[in-house]
């Protein structure tokens, strides 16, 4: 865990529990400095993460909702997507855009968008609108094993059955699962946050409002067993297509 916290220290188990839950963190040099006073800045960070775990999303959602939209296909099918750059690049699930080239993204403003690329291995698609956009998401950074862990609280935004700006919350059950049955690659995480038809392509966010995944599928007939393609797969895919995120 931390280099300066010995296992025989009276506070070791409490520190380990809170650190594993993402409610406390150490310093960049790998130390924790258990006897050092906590700063107001550190306290704000801890309380912010705690309130998110308590399902308090005030101050996080409102700035983000305009960057999420319902994506309408030409044949009447729907999904969800979200902007990732101010220049109009947006992400959705590949199965939402299959066999179509042009789409309408509807939020407060309607956008005509076109398909740029789809991932050959993951359920991800990149689209583009030919204008700048007012809001966009930040893709999470950091090591997967430290950022995504069992019990981490997340929220998913989408348009299940066309009900836009619907938000569900849950925890990550496993950070490495197949993106779809038989995929052979472990590019997704499992969550109990509800995912329903129309949610596909929507962002899964953490307590900072950063994207940690894309909602892609759920087990039909099984409650609270959904899957999201992880943010590391999103980042690689975007960079392969010339979009820095």
Cα 38 to Cα 36: distance, rounded to the nearest angstrom: 6
Give the residue carrying structure tokens 């989408």: 158
144 sits in which H/E element: helix 144-147
Backbone φ, ψ for residue 130 (5° rounding): -90, 60
* Count of all residues that appear for the chain in the document: 245
- Catalytic residue, from 4, 45, 95, 164: name it: 95
For residue 161, indicate whether it is catalytic: no
For residue 123, indicate whether it is catalytic: yes
Cα 70 to Cα 100: distance, rounded to the nearest angstrom: 16
Residues in contact with 37: Cβ distance below 8 Å, sequence separation at least 6, in sequence order: none
Token pair listed for 163: 């009900």
The answer to whether 82 and 215 are in contact (CB under 8 A) is no
- Catalytic residue, from 119, 153, 200, 206: name it: 200
- Catalytic residue, from 123, 136, 179, 232: name it: 123
Coil/strand/helix, residue 136: coil
For residue 95, indicate whether it is catalytic: yes
Residues with a known catalytic role = 95, 123, 200
């Amino acid at each position: 865990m931390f280099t300066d916290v010995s296992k025989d220290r009276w506070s070791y188990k409490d520190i380990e529990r809170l650190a594993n839950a993402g409610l406390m963190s150490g310093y960049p040099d790998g130390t924790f400095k258990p006897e050092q006073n906590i700063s107001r800045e550190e306290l704000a960070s801890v309380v912010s993460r705690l309130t998110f775990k308590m399902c308090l999303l005030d101050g996080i959602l409102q700035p983000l909702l305009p960057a999420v939209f319902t994506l309408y296909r030409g044949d009447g099918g729907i999904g969800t997507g979200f902007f990732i750059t101010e220049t109009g690049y947006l992400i959705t699930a590949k199965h939402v855009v299959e066999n179509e080239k042009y789409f309408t993204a509807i939020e407060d403003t309607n956008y005509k968008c076109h398909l740029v690329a789809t991932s050959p291995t993951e359920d991800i698609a990149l689209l583009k609108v030919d204008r700048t956009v007012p809001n966009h998401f930040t893709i999470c950074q950091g090591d997967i094993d430290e950022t995504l862990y069992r019990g981490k609280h997340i929220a998913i935004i989408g348009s299940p059955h066309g009900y836009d700006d619907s938000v569900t919350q849950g925890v990550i059950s496993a950070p490495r699962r197949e993106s779809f049955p038989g995929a052979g690659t472990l590019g997704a995480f499992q969550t109990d946050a509800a995912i329903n038809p129309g949610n596909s392509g929507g962002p899964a966010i953490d307590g900072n409002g950063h994207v940690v995944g894309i909602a892609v599928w759920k087990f039909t007939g099984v409650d609270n067993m959904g899957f999201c393609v992880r943010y590391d797969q999103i980042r690689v895919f975007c960079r392969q297509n010339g979009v820095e995120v």
